[in-house]
Amino acid sequence: MTSQPLAPLDLAFWNIESAEHPMHLGALGVFPADSPTAAAHAADLLAARAPAVPGLRMRIRDRWRPPLAPGSPLSLGALTALGGAAREPDPGFDPLGHVRLHPPAADFQAVAGRLMERPLDRERPPWEAHVVPAEDGASFAVLFKFHHALADGLRALALAAGILDPMDLPEPRPRPEPPRRSPLPAVRDLPGLLRGALSDAGRALDIGAAAALSTLDVRSSPALAAGASGTRRTAGVSLDLDDVHRIRKTVSGTVNDVLIAVVAGALRRWLDERGDGSEGVAPRALIPVSRRRPRTAHPQGNRLSGYLIRLPVGDPDPLSRLGTVRAAMDRNKDAGPARGAGAVALLADHVPALGHRLGGPLVGQAARLWFDILVTSVPLPSLGLRLGGHPLTEVYPYAPLARGHALAVAVSTYRGRVHYGLVADAGAVPDLDLLARALTEEVETLLTACGS
């Protein structure tokens, strides 16, 4: 296994991280236990399987010097590595240091919050698995943490699936290897390359202008902003997917439209209950969009863009809120994920490695200017996942919390249930349980409004 330079967006995630704002994804899975030793057996299985998954043995190393052999001529490719980072195999990989068995706990979410606030060790492969047995012995939970520079949502799913029980999946069709190309472009290709470069530059300017315009007329709430406390609190909500489908069929649109509108309605309830008020509030929600196809989940490197929409929190009518969300998402889809303010992640491709290294902290601080809340969807397979023969019954995804943000929302659908995973700054949002309850209440409100 050889070193692999980080993709530009991976490099951005690696360099915007700070001790108070770790850039790792998370997922809390809950499994029923059939014996007092089920959790310990699960931890042993995870540790035993991890060495067989190549991506879990990869660590990330900063590169400040060009990778040149003595006497080699200085090349353009070497210059681009200056200030960058690369994944490389960890020769001393110890799975026991990455899989940890914890004492029994009464509240999985409380444990997850404390673990999510701890940054991953940047000198080791940047992932962890924490196994937590329930105090009553009826279940156990596994919290996976993956650094965003190691994996996006689909890639993290592939890595986690590699250490769960094997699934009976159809063999993927072999893909033909692309033809080898010379490192120098052919003369006949130069006009096309020039047009592509000009098109990319125009797209970058378009994205930058849209992002600048999105900062105008911001109607957010102080409740969604937070200082760098470095603390985390998590919460999980499980809803019936059939209820979401009933709402969708009544008003049209997509399941994702409904799930985003539920967040808008829950924020309204939460702001009113805590006394902050929701009138006139329309925070900017970043909706990440994966540009990775399911069959290409294994290649490394983040493949993300995004849509930026205003959540109609100030609208008192639940169906009107849903209509506003649906119209905004339709406009974004018509424009495509390569245009608009939400596609700022694509600008990472236009920044040299040294720029990411030096400008990472500044970019991290600017996230608050770009959006107010992250609402992301994490895909899960429809097939049942298992660990040590125990079926996965609940799974709550967690997103990183950017600097200046108080709250991030992730959502997954799995085997007939919708699971919301909430991550908040514990100092700014001590009442995260109220927001979790508001998500359930908003679905009930929408069902009533739809006559269901």
Give the 3-state secondary structure of residue 28.
strand
d(CA 410, CA 377): 6
- The sheet with strand 139-147 has its strands ordered as 99-101, 127-133, 139-147, 24-32, 394-398
Q: Which helix (H) or strand (E) is 237 found in, with range?
A: strand 232-240
DSSP of 71-132: TPPP-HHHHHHTTEEEEEE-TT--GGGTEEE---BS-HHHHHHHHHTSPP-TTS-SEEEEEE
Find all residues with CB under 8 Å of 82, minimum gap 6, and list them. 63, 64, 65, 66, 353, 354
Q: Given this model, what pLDDT does residue 20 score?
A: 87
Q: Given this model, what pLDDT does residue 361 score?
A: 53
Closest CA to 424 of 402, 408, 404, 438: 408
CA dist list (Å): 273 to 133, 316, 331, 405:
34, 14, 32, 20
β partners of residue 417: 240, 414
For the whole model, what pTM was predicted? Answer: 0.82
264's tokens: 């808008």
46's tokens: 């995870």
Helix axes 241-251, 432-449, angle to 10 degrees: 50
* Per-position pLDDT tens, the chain of length 452: 577 777 777 877 888 888 888 999 999 999 999 999 999 999 999 999 999 999 999 998 877 555 444 444 433 333 334 456 888 888 888 888 899 999 999 999 999 999 999 999 999 999 999 999 999 999 999 999 999 888 887 788 889 989 999 875 444 444 444 444 444 445 555 455 444 443 444 444 443 444 444 454 556 788 898 777 889 999 999 999 999 999 999 998 999 999 999 999 999 999 999 999 999 999 999 998 876 554 444 445 555 678 889 999 999 999 999 999 999 999 988 887 555 444 444 344 444 444 444 444 545 455 566 789 999 998 788 778 999 999 999 999 999 998 889 999 999 999 999 999 999 999 999 999 999 999 999 999 999 999 87
Q: Given this model, what pLDDT does residue 151 score?
A: 85
CA dist list (Å): 397 to 158, 229, 376:
14, 22, 9
Alpha-carbon dihedral sign for residues 162, 168, 169, 174: positive
Give the 3-state secondary structure of residue 38.
helix
- Supply φ then ψ for residue 251, to 5 degrees: -115, 0
Closest CA to 143 of 168, 167, 115, 120: 115
Q: Are 429 and 113 in contact (CB under 8 A)?
A: no
Q: Are 30 and 46 in contact (CB under 8 A)?
A: no
Q: Given this model, what pLDDT does residue 371 score?
A: 86
Q: Given this model, what pLDDT does residue 281 score?
A: 94
